Amino acid sequence: MQCNVPVIAAPPDTYPVNEIFESLQGEASFTGTPSVFVRLQGCPVGCPWCNAKHTWHVRPEREISVSAMTEKSELPCDSYSRCDVSTLANVVRAADAEHVVITGGEPCMYDLRPLIAKLEAWHHRVQVETSGTYVPLVTPTTFVTVSPKYEMPGGRTVLDEALARANEIKCAIGRRREIGVVLEKLDPIQQANGTPIWLQPLSASSRATAICIKAARRYGWRVSLQTNKFINIR
């Protein structure tokens, strides 16, 4: 199956923003950290189990105002607002949390450096969550979480440059054979760079969780649980 999602170049220093909300980071190294989430619109990777399919397409007819985006009540929703750096940074600044998570969609479709530089100048710590299929254009101090997506319908390749830039690698695991991919392609990076590998059970199923725990014990990896789901928050 081919996923023909076009990659739309954004005008310079603007970003299509699906939503901005505050919650706790529920996964991996920053679990439990109060965070502002900035969800960008657009992703051509096409993971069949994606829980953010509403972010895949950037359709001009679905563009809305910034205020309409920040006040969205109908969620999930594929509408988005095109925000310039100052507008977006000011919305983030109005929230309480110091930690900012830029997610998607696939945020690394866009050059994130102008936005992150502005947020860091205002003393935010910025984490970017990416599939590893684009080179992350981020500042040197950005915390990059790569969740590598291999052989997905969109046909994109996980890039060595993205994996080399990762501060952590987080793998969604549903089946036992996926452990072999982690062992072959990702464990050498942990061995070489010390980049922690997190296994995250797909859909928190008990079978996937057991596979993750067994592999983490055997190979020195970690298990990431989507803790926000346990307490029923986003």
H/E element holding 166? Answer: none
| Window contacting ligand SF4 (CB under 6 A); options: 16-24, 47-55, 175-183, 221-229 | 47-55
Q: Taking CB under 6 A as the criterion, which residues in 122-161 touch ligand SF4?
A: 131, 149
Least Cβ distance, residue 18 to ligand SF4 (angstroms) = 11
Token pair in block for residue 127: 């984490």
Please give the full DSSP string across 14-77, using - where no structure is assigned: EEEEEEEEEEEE-SGGGTTEEEEEEEE-------TT-S-GGGS---GGGB--HHHHHT--S-S-
- Residues 233, 81: Cα–Cα separation, whole Å: 24
Q: Which is nearer to ligand SF4, 44 or 114 (CB)?
A: 44
Task: Please identify which residue in 36, 100, 102, 105 interacts with ligand SF4, judged by CB under 6 A.
Answer: 105
Number of H helices, E strands in the chain: 8, 9
84: which strand partners?
14
| Window contacting ligand SF4 (CB under 6 A); options: 62-70, 81-89, 100-108, 158-166 | 100-108
Least Cβ distance, residue 207 to ligand SF4 (angstroms) = 20
Task: Please identify which residue in 8, 10, 50, 117 interacts with ligand SF4, judged by CB under 6 A.
Answer: 50
By the rule CB under 6 A, 77 interacts with ligand SF4: no
Q: Which residues contact 156 (CB under 8 A, 6 or more apart)?
A: 44, 45, 131, 133, 149
Q: Which is nearer to ligand SF4, 55 or 142 (CB)?
A: 55
158 and 120 Cβ atoms separated by less than 8 Å: no
CA-wise closest residue to 160 among 171, 173, 146, 177 = 146
Binding residues for S-adenosyl-L-methionine: 105, 147-149
Binding residues: 24-26, 39, 43, 47, 77, 79, 103, 105, 147-149
Binding residues for Mg(2+): 79
* Residues forming the site for ligand SF4 (CB under 6 A): 43, 45-47, 50, 52, 55, 104-106, 131, 149
